Amino acid sequence: MSDKISVLLSEDEVAKKLDDLASVINRDYEGKCIHLVGILKGSVFFSCELAKRLTIPVTMDFMSVSSYGNSTKSSGVVKIIKDLDEPLQDRDVLIVEDIVDTGRTLSYLMKVLKDRRPASMRLCCMLDKPERRITDVKADYVCFNIPDEFVVGFGLDYAQKYRNLPYIGVLQPEETE
Ligand code: 5GP
């Protein structure tokens, strides 16, 4: 049976928001080189689309942490699966994440990355589900606040599928008889 997905944020809406976000970041980091740290795999599309719109000097690195596996619920267990290739020391780091839900993943990750002594560290998220937060994680840049629904597309998956959707959609729960 195929999954039902309804559009929450269209390709155009996401592109417009990315333009706006990039202008703000270009202004905030004027005169600096920004080091984008994308969290795999969900932030790949967002990181690249954002980077393409930045006019300040940009370097990029990626790391991978464990997430929900094949489920739609957080396990609460965070594990670094692939670490960064380069040190963060003295760099102006912008962590680029697909979505903040409970905040558990980023709460852990930001502590680990702060210990590497970047010159500055900020957090940029494509989506935020503020009502789900159980930690004090707060993003410096957010594209969209969304309700408590499980979303896919623009990098976000369900069981590794749907990352390639050019829009963000809500995955409808399967109907039970
Ligand atoms: P948190 O630790 O904040 O609870 O969860 C963060 C991670 O859970 C995200 O990076 C993402 O991988 C996953 N996640 C949270 N909400 C969603 C969602 O609605 N859809 C998808 N596909 N992943 C989500």
Strand bridging mode 92-100 / 120-128: parallel
pLDDT reported for residue 57 = 98
User: 42 in ligand 1 pocket by Cβ < 6 Å?
Assistant: yes
Residue 95: inside a domain: yes
The 10s digit of each residue's pLDDT in 38-59 is 999 999 999 999 999 999 999 9
If you average pLDDT over residues 10-33, what whole number do you get?
Answer: 98
43 and 101 Cβ atoms separated by less than 8 Å: no
Residue 177: inside a domain: no
Residue 3: inside a domain: no
Domain count for the chain: 1
The 10s digit of each residue's pLDDT in 68-116 is 555 555 655 678 999 999 999 999 999 999 999 999 889 989 999 999 9
CATH value at residue 20: 3.40.50.2020
Arithmetic mean of pLDDT over the chain: 92
User: 74 in ligand 1 pocket by Cβ < 6 Å?
Assistant: yes
Residues spanned by the domain of 95: 10-148
In this structure, what token pair is assigned to residue 74? 């957080």
- Residue 12 φ/ψ, nearest 5 degrees: -65, -45
User: 92 in ligand 1 pocket by Cβ < 6 Å?
Assistant: no
Catalytic residue among 20, 61, 85, 101: 101
**Residues with Cβ < 8 Å from 48, sequence gap 6 or more?**
none
User: 102 in ligand 1 pocket by Cβ < 6 Å?
Assistant: yes
Residue 176: inside a domain: no
pLDDT reported for residue 78 = 78
Encoded amino acid at 105, one letter: T
Ligand 1 pocket: which of 67, 70, 170 to mutate (most atoms <8 Å of CB)?
A: 67
**Residues with Cβ < 8 Å from 131, sequence gap 6 or more?**
147, 148
pTM of the prediction? 0.92
Q: Tokens 């599309």 sit at which residue?
A: 45
The pLDDT-based confidence of 175 (bands split at 50, 70, 90) is low
Integer Cα distance of 166 and 162 in angstroms? 9
User: Measured in whole angstroms, how far is the alpha carbon of residue 90 from the centre of its chain?
Assistant: 23
pLDDT at 130 over 70: yes
